[in-house]
Amino acid sequence: MSGSAEPAQPGSVGQGRFERVARIARIVLAGGLVVAAVGASLPLLRIGAHVLDDRELDGIAVAVALDWRDFGLERARQRLQHELDRRGVEGIDERVCALTLEADAVRRVACAWEVEVELPLRERPLTLAFASVARVDRHGTVVY
């Protein structure tokens, strides 16, 4: 029987359509997962930038405390301003930092700041508070 069509398999009439629908459903699901992952990562990126700034400020506080130990208070203040400008720590200036001489000749550099972050699905912004402290004891040793 040449030229005759093959007999239809039972259940094969709708099988091709089912496979197309299943393929489309997988594509839509994968796309939805990508959108959800990107949406979930955006708040983390917003918060992460501020966490990185806080880590920068931790290093700046130590550098300023060491300059205070080695070169005096005025030089430490200059170093603080210079490091904040150079490293580009956004929204933070030397006014958020205090250089104090504590009991027993301990030099303390403390910086504290807050930032409000707008997040999706929140009515009010989330307030994040950060602090960086470095101390140099009377022997010149950095203590945290």
Helices (H), the chain: 15-71, 73-87
Residue 18: pLDDT band (50, 70, 90) is confident
pLDDT value for 17: 83
pTM over 0.75: no
Residue 133: CB atoms within 10 A of its CB come to 16
Is the pLDDT at 81 greater than 90? The verdict is yes
The domain segmentation of the chain, as residue ranges, is 48-143
Share of the chain above pLDDT 90, in %: 44
